[in-house]
Amino acid sequence: MIWLGLAACLAWAVLLLGRGLFWLARDDDRDAATLPVPDPWPGVVCVVPARDEAASIAATVGAVLAQDYPGALRLIVVDDRSTDGTAALALAAGRGDGRLTVLTGAARPAGWTGKLWALQQGVGAAGAPDYLWFTDADIHHAPDSLRRLVARAVADQRVMVSLMARLNCESAAERWLIPAFIFFFQMLYPFRWSNRPSARTAAAAGGCVVLQRLAFERAGGLAPIRGALIDDCSLAALMKRQGAIWLGLTERVTSLRPYPGVAPIRRMVARTAFAQLRFSAALLLGMLGALALVFLAPPLLALFAPAPAAWLGGLAWLAMILAYAPTLRRFRLHPLRAAALPVIALIYMGFTCESAWQEWRGRGGMWKGEAGPRADRGGSATAGQG
């Protein structure tokens, strides 16, 4: 047990000191207002893929069209076969604004994910702007959001800049599970590493991405990643081969999508978790073992093992609490909630196992009634709409 405690302590020492200080959870966009002003401001086309987003599309369209951006801005909403009046609500939100176009999306070809195919159609209609701005249909932007993003892209010569939207955190399920989602994402993809041109790590947040169009076209556009379930990080890896990229946390871009219970959070995680493991059972077992060492062993040792293994477990548990507390503070939650992170990690391990189970059943990547593109190989691309 002593060796297990030592291993857990070593793991947390590496996480605290050796992964880009990811756990500090700082607002990386705080310096945007001091960036040099582009002269002239480049033209931008915003593309919003939308499938059954009646609850939020009007707010998203209104926020994009309300940007105080000094350059040319157009908005293309791609209605991906919605059945809830999304297209009509988008048109109504932008009525009288000639910058808005609403496209009716075509059926998804084999091998493409629904979101990437919708984005592909929007890119095809965008023409030749200097920058493309991909944002989801459930994202709200502060009026200066685009101005700050483009200023960073130009001043820092980044071919891609992205912001991690602040996720909804109001229901009990959200308060317990959503901060951990951000914590685990940063642990897996340390933002400092992603932002360093020499590092291999590449990450983005798909809800808000600005791309230099010429670099995007040099990379081959969306076609090389057309089947990627984790499309944002796949796009980041693609773009980082063309130049420097940047990803940061912010309070100025917020998600409008509520998660009123555990089930929708479970579905969100299960959709892509096994894809992150490259659909490998061996990697799944390795991941479960690593998470058990890092998150489960410390409290079990601290509560049930004899000394000195219990002391080592307690030390690792304390390191876990200290690491998670800054993320909780970002969500205005009491830092003592961090003591429950082992239980939350166990829940996420369950979500990941479900992701693998759904993939083995041929229902992997399910989103709004449609399975992921891997199902196409079995002759059935959808489970619901075609």
| CA 304 to chain centroid | 37
* Helices and strands in the chain: count of H runs, count of E runs: 14, 8
Confidence grade of residue 29 (pLDDT, cut at 50, 70, 90): confident
- Residue 379: what pLDDT? 38
* 208-212 and 158-166 beta bridge pairing: antiparallel
Q: Residue 64: is it exposed, middle or buried by C-beta count within 10 angstroms (0-12/13-18/19+)?
A: buried
Under 8 Å between Cβ of 131 and 44 = yes
Confidence grade of residue 378 (pLDDT, cut at 50, 70, 90): low
Token code pair at residue 78: 């791609």
pLDDT of 97 > 90? The answer is yes
- Mean pLDDT throughout 321-328? 97
pLDDT of 100 > 70? The answer is yes
What's the mean per-residue pLDDT of the chain? Answer: 93
Provide the 3-class DSSP secondary structure of residue 109.
coil
Which pLDDT tens digit goes with each residue over 116-162?
A: 999 999 999 999 999 999 999 999 999 999 999 999 999 999 999 99
**Distance from C-alpha of 369 to C-alpha of 268, rounded to nearest angstrom:** 13
* 208-212 and 131-135 beta bridge pairing: antiparallel
Confidence grade of residue 381 (pLDDT, cut at 50, 70, 90): very low
- DSSP-H helix ranges across 94-171: 114-126, 145-155
In Å, how far are 198, 279, 325 from 356, measured between CA atoms?
A: 33, 7, 30
**Distance from C-alpha of 47 to C-alpha of 76, rounded to nearest angstrom:** 5
The residues, ordered by sequence, that sit 6+ positions from 325 with a Cβ below 8 Å of its Cβ are: 335, 338
- Mean pLDDT throughout 256-281? 94
pLDDT of 232 > 90? The answer is yes
Q: Residue 312: is it exposed, middle or buried by C-beta count within 10 angstroms (0-12/13-18/19+)?
A: buried
**Distance from C-alpha of 86 to C-alpha of 137, rounded to nearest angstrom:** 10
Confidence grade of residue 377 (pLDDT, cut at 50, 70, 90): low
Provide the residue ranges of all domains of the chain, joining segments of one domain with +. 2-20+263-378, 26-259
- Mean pLDDT throughout 27-36? 85
Confidence grade of residue 311 (pLDDT, cut at 50, 70, 90): very high
- Residue 85: what pLDDT? 96
- Mean pLDDT throughout 293-299? 98
Return phi, psi of residue 247, to 5°.
-135, 135
**Distance from C-alpha of 329 to C-alpha of 248, rounded to nearest angstrom:** 17
Token code pair at residue 377: 């190989």
The one-character DSSP state at 295 is I
The CATH class of the 26-259 domain is alpha beta
Look at 78-82, 90-94, 363-367 and tell me which has the smallest mean pLDDT: 363-367
pLDDT of 374 > 90? The answer is no
pLDDT of 371 > 80? The answer is no
**Distance from C-alpha of 320 to C-alpha of 325, rounded to nearest angstrom:** 9
Provide the 3-class DSSP secondary structure of residue 211.
strand
Amino acid at 58: A
Query: Across 44-130, where does the E strand assignment appear?
Result: 44-50, 73-79, 100-104
pLDDT of 384 > 50? The answer is no
pLDDT of 380 > 70? The answer is no
Amino acid at 263: A
* 244-255 and 139-141 beta bridge pairing: antiparallel
Tell me the torsion sign for CA atoms 30, 34, 36, 42: positive
Which pLDDT tens digit goes with each residue over 233-243?
A: 999 999 999 99
Return phi, psi of residue 350, to 5°.
-65, -40
**Distance from C-alpha of 153 to C-alpha of 131, rounded to nearest angstrom:** 10
pLDDT of 10 > 80? The answer is yes
Confidence grade of residue 103 (pLDDT, cut at 50, 70, 90): very high
